[in-house]
A and B are shown apart, each in its own frame.
Chain A
């Protein structure tokens, strides 16, 4: 940002765009339009309009592109810090959301810059009306999304051996390889059970002490362990934005001393747009699977 001072209009752009964003989010929360869910409008349209608002304040400053980009980055950083304070979001959530916020604020700023340079009032009103329509339509739409992630590995051990480590397993000591786990996202470390039968309680313990309470709903030794998640922690780091609904391990004896282990998880997402967040949800769920499945593999092949 060099050492130059900020002009009054530059500061106004930053202040009013953030004021707009948090007021709109506050109003939608107060109206309980989509409780507990963060929608497309909040991650795409609000940042985009924040950029346009900045451009409006900066329209007479003749700012160069480099300065506009730098101010936009500052604007995003302020918005993200305010999200941490007022919305209680955790660091991992903010890392995940950042590309969307940075991308759409910068896009909005450059689009706004072009709009106000052209100074076509009809065009400007049309653009803003379209954004308002999209915002209202998205806010009033139903947001419900559930999906499933599957992973398959082959273990060099018979099903009898693998099954011993599927229902419950001792503590995982291997180092995490997934970058989000390395930066502090909780990863699974152990599983315990109350009993080996349908209806028994199971607990999946995470690295930060979180416990997912589960109930075994299908118990077919050497074949199928399915459990529903009956209670899961709520915290700012991801867990409030995704619910794991059900987990499943399927074993297939390959009749050659090896076993194919399939891990399935069903989850519900509370953050939209899906084209962005589902990529993260799949990746995170997959790495949770693989952490457990690799551990089962290593325990089974140790015999």
Chain B
């Protein structure tokens, strides 16, 4: 459903508020079919939000966005899809680990996508965000 919407209705994302509405429907569907997901999202949100210099905001295409000193390090959609920004070199290394995928839309960028499916995935999601956070921190220091 998510992939179908992004592929065929993705052009509608420019309509203000529509991606937020779509993300709300994702959260609602998770509440019905996989309530555990909402707890995983909370766990990641509160952990990453506690890192020094990290702020949270609404992502323009729906979900919560993690920023370090105003620069985005990643965002988490309501269906448990985590998108994190890396350099292309780092992305290649992570892809070799076979746990992340190319970004679900921008395949040739430094972005990677990771789907939360289990409790263990929360730790890996935090690892990815920490990595991006540290890279961002080092590059800005």
Contact = CB atoms under 8 A, between A and B. Distances in A.
B10 interface: no
B28 A107 contact: no
B27 A114 contact: no
Contact of B58 (A66, A103, A104, A111): A111
Given A65-B45, A66-B41, A69-B38, A102 B57 contact: no
B46 A64 contact: yes
A107 B46 CA distance: 20
Nearest to A2: B35
Secondary structure dominating the interface of A: helix
Contacts of A58: none
A110 B25 CA distance: 12
Contact of B42 (A66, A104, A106): A66
B24 A66 contact: no
Given A107-B20, A110-B58, A111-B58, A73 B31 contact: yes
B20 A110 contact: yes
A62 to B, nearest CB: 10
Nearest to A76: B28
A114 B23 CA distance: 15
Contacts of B23: 107
B38 A114 contact: no
Interface residues of A, number: 15
Nearest to A108: B24
Contacts, number: 51
Given A111-B58, A114-B57, A103 B31 contact: no
B53 interface: no
B39 interface: yes
A73 B38 CA distance: 13
Contacts of A107: 17, 20-21, 23-24
Nearest to A114: B58
A33 interface: no
Contacts of B31: 69-70, 73
A112 B58 CA distance: 11
Contacts of B57: 114
A101 to B, nearest CB: 10
B25 A99 contact: yes
Contacts of A99: 25
Contacts of B41: 65-66
Contact of B27 (A104, A106, A111): A106
Given A65-B41, A66-B41, A69-B38, A111 B28 contact: no
28 contacts: A64-B42, A65-B27, A65-B41, A65-B45, A65-B64, A66-B35, A66-B41, A69-B28, A69-B38, A70-B38, A73-B31, A99-B25, A102-B28, A103-B21, A103-B24, A103-B28, A104-B21, A106-B24, A106-B27, A106-B28, A107-B20, A107-B23, A110-B20, A110-B27, A110-B58, A111-B58, A114-B57, A114-B58
Interface of B: 17, 20-25, 27-28, 30-31, 35, 38-39, 41-42, 45-46, 57-58, 64
Given A107-B21, A111-B20, 20 more contacts: A64-B42, A65-B42, A65-B45, A66-B38, A66-B41, A66-B42, A69-B31, A70-B31, A99-B25, A102-B24, A102-B25, A102-B28, A103-B28, A104-B24, A107-B17, A107-B23, A107-B24, A110-B27, A111-B58, A114-B57
